[in-house]
Amino acid sequence: MNSRASFLRCLMALAGGLLLANCSSTEVSLDYQPGLSQGAPGPRKMSAGRFADMRREGSYYIGTVRTPIGTPLERVNTKIPVEQVVRNAFAHGMSSRGMLAGRGAPYVLTGEILTLHTDQVIRPAAYAKIRVNVVRVSSGQVVFSRIYSGERENSAYLPGSGSPVPMLRELVSRALQDVVDRALDDSALRARLSPTPPYGPDIL
């Protein structure tokens, strides 16, 4: 009985692997829409640096479309590496707020991508979690670091109503934008860009 159960488990795992290998793949572009944000202008002191992909997934992979019983049907990939997608989103966010400085900026914004994923296990959803660091260029010192999260959901997808990929693309775009907006509008982050000058008995 145990040998039969082991054989069936192996057969099911092999079938699942073959289905995943044979499912199609769709490339999508994630965007940042300044019109959706009302962030106040900030100090023009940062450039956009590197965002390391810590997800342990493929550099382009952000999710898989599955049937109601979990069978993979379609992989969802980005057209450019995820680390570049995130860097571009932060650059657009800084630019829309007047915070993006060119060469010679005193600070650089870097980070680690902990989560950037979309799925439809129960309903279409997307998740983003990114650690954002502000680094002083002159010393390499990290003067600010905080994790920001975003999550978006939609009503349940109805099988047969067309591909869910456009909806998933929109959800993950907006989850990423939520992270960007929360980071760039954080008063604690902005305070690190304009530190209070020291005062003492010898300073007028």
DSSP per residue, 157-175: P-TTSS-SHHHHHHHHHHH
User: What pTM value is reported for the model?
Assistant: 0.82
Which of the listed ranges 110-119, 163-172, 194-203 does the model predict with the highest average pLDDT?
110-119
- Spatial CA neighbour of 90 closest among 51, 58, 54: 51
Looking at 73-142, list the stretches that DSSP marks H as alpha helix, in order from N- to C-terminal side. 82-96
> Is residue 34's pLDDT more than 70?
yes
Q: Are 179 and 189 in contact, with CB atoms under 8 Å apart?
A: no
What pLDDT does 35 receive?
Answer: 80
Q: Whole-angstrom Cα distance, residue 101 to residue 106?
A: 9
What pLDDT does 116 receive?
Answer: 98
Mean of pLDDT values over 146-175: 86
What pLDDT does 204 receive?
Answer: 41
What pLDDT does 12 receive?
Answer: 41
> Is residue 187's pLDDT more than 70?
yes
Min mean pLDDT across 42-56, 59-73, 140-154 is at 59-73
Min mean pLDDT across 73-82, 104-113, 115-124 is at 115-124
> Is residue 174's pLDDT more than 90?
yes
Taking the CA atoms of residue 34, residue 41, residue 190 and residue 32 in that order, the dihedral angle to the nearest 10 degrees is 10
